[in-house]
């Protein structure tokens, strides 16, 4: 058993309490390789933002559990070396079983999500409660979910949203003991959220009703990529074949971040940014074959994207 405390990581409790008071959200950026980790930490140190490094079960399989533990520890030391010991959470994104959550806790995670949102309500409650009881013994924080987002996440996909029922949240939080709650209010996973011409609209009214039921309780938004149109155009200009799509408008996310939303998950926009930079090098410099020559620009573009998110969407700058 490796305690996250020995790796220099923190859990999400204090960060969320502060972010609700301060009207900003903590960035939760997914990672599974070194360049992504460097970009995240570089951007967060430069903007003095706390950060949640999150790892999906697919990412954990890809990167290896042991390497991830050292990468997270490395992230802590890297931030110090860059000049600011920002608070760093290592979080399991969309944990689907008790066993996976337990294993992540044993490998140094400071926070886990148990996503029982696809289960019948009572089963979601029972599974989430079981994870909370285990995790809290080790001071690890737990995120649960109510409501189903449209889109794809690992092996699970849903065609339509099922918005979170405000009537259920108080009961869920009480029965499970979770530390934060992911809700479904119109965001969705992946790079293909809405067709151009559609009007994405986060249901801030449902969010307000949820806040009324559980005042001051930390709320999480998944599926919060905005699918930057200039980056999609760049991918397609350099030989990509992405279909037209738009994401969640950044001003709507900024409005949500000012409320009880204290964690905003962004993965797809980072994937798009890296892909655009790599494609550009491949087309403009086809003679290159040193991975540093394309992964380096991908890392730079990713860091710029994260800086932008922190400064203009999350508002978490200067909160480390």
Answer for which of 10, 39, 41, 59 binds ligand G3H (CB under 6 A) is 59
Q: Residue 244 catalytic?
A: no
Map residue 178 onto helix, strand or coil.
coil
Give the residue from 128, 104, 106, 126 showing the smallest Cα distance to 115.
128
Answer for which of 30, 36, 141, 187 binds ligand G3H (CB under 6 A) is 30
Between CA 191 and CA 254 the distance in angstroms is: 19
Between CA 130 and CA 206 the distance in angstroms is: 28
Binding status of residue 222 toward Zn ion by CB under 5 A: yes
Q: Which of residues 129-168 bind ligand 13P (CB under 6 A)?
A: none
Residue 64, token pair as written in the block: 């290896």
Between CA 156 and CA 153 the distance in angstroms is: 5
Residue 53, token pair as written in the block: 């490094």
Between CA 144 and CA 248 the distance in angstroms is: 22
**Binding partner selected for residue 26 from ligand 13P, ligand G3H, Zn ion, none, CB under the kind-specific 5 to 8 Å limit:** none
Binding status of residue 263 toward Zn ion by CB under 5 A: no
Binding status of residue 265 toward ligand 13P by CB under 6 A: yes
Contacts with ligand 13P, 180-209, as mask; x by CB under 6 A = ---------xx-------------------
- The residues with which 95 forms a beta bridge, in sequence order, are 114
Binding status of residue 161 toward Zn ion by CB under 5 A: no
Answer for which of 35, 115, 211, 267 binds ligand G3H (CB under 6 A) is 267
Q: Among residues 30 and 128, whose Cβ is nearest to ligand G3H?
A: 30
Q: How far is the CB of 288 from Zn ion (least distance, A)?
A: 34
Residue 238, token pair as written in the block: 């350099």
Residue 200 and residue 221 in contact, taking contact as beta carbons nearer than 8 Å = no
Binding status of residue 154 toward ligand G3H by CB under 6 A: yes
Between CA 306 and CA 310 the distance in angstroms is: 6
Q: Enumerate helices (H) and strands (E) in the chain, giving the number of each.
A: 13, 10
Q: Among residues 153 and 211, whose Cβ is nearest to ligand G3H?
A: 153
Give the residue from 318, 320, 281, 316 showing the smallest Cα distance to 297.
281
- By CB under 6 A, how many residues form the interface with ligand 13P? 14
Answer for which of 266, 277, 278, 310 binds ligand 13P (CB under 6 A) is 266
Binding status of residue 56 toward ligand G3H by CB under 6 A: yes
Where would I find the H helices in 150-290?
A: 166-176, 204-213, 229-237, 250-257, 268-284
Q: Which of residues 267-296 bind ligand 13P (CB under 6 A)?
A: 267-269
| Contacts to Zn ion by CB under 5 A | 222
| Contacts to ligand 13P by CB under 6 A | 30, 93-94, 189-190, 222-225, 265-269
| Contacts to ligand G3H by CB under 6 A | 30, 56, 58-59, 93-94, 153-154, 189, 267
């Amino acid at each position: 058993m490796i305690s996250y405390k020995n790796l220099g990581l923190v859990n999400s409790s204090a960060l969320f309490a502060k972010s609700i008071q301060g009207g900003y959200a903590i960035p939760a950026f997914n990672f599974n390789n070194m360049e992504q980790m460097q970009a995240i930490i570089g951007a967060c140190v430069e903007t003095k933002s706390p950060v949640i490094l999150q790892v999906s079960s697919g990412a954990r399989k890809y990167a290896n559990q042991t390497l991830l533990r050292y990468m997270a520890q490395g992230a802590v030391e890297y931030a110090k070396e860059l000049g600011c010991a920002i608070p760093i959470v290592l979080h399991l994104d969309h944990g689907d079983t008790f066993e996976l959550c337990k294993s992540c806790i044993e490998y140094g995670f400071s926070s886990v999500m148990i996503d029982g949102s696809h289960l019948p309500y009572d089963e979601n409650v029972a599974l989430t409660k079981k994870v909370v009881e285990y995790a809290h013994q080790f001071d690890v924080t737990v995120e649960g979910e109510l409501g189903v987002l449209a889109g794809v996440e690992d092996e699970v996909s849903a065609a339509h949203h099922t918005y979170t029922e405000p009537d259920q949240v108080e009961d869920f939080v009480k029965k499970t003991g979770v530390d934060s709650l992911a809700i479904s209010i119109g965001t969705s996973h992946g790079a293909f959220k809405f067709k151009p011409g559609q009007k994405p609209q986060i249901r801030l009214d449902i969010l307000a009703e949820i806040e009324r039921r559980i005042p001051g309780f930390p709320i999480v938004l998944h599926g919060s990529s905005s699918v930057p149109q200039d980056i999609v155009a760049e991918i397609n200009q350099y030989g990509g074949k992405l279909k037209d799509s738009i994401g969640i408008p950044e001003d709507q996310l900024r409005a949500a971040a000012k409320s009880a939303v204290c964690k905003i998950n962004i993965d797809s926009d980072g994937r798009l940014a890296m892909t655009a930079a790599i494609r550009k090098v491949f087309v403009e410099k086809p003679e290159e074959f040193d991975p540093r020559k394309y992964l380096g620009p991908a890392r730079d573009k990713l860091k710029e994207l994260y800086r932008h998110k922190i400064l203009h969407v999350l508002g978490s700058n200067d909160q480390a």
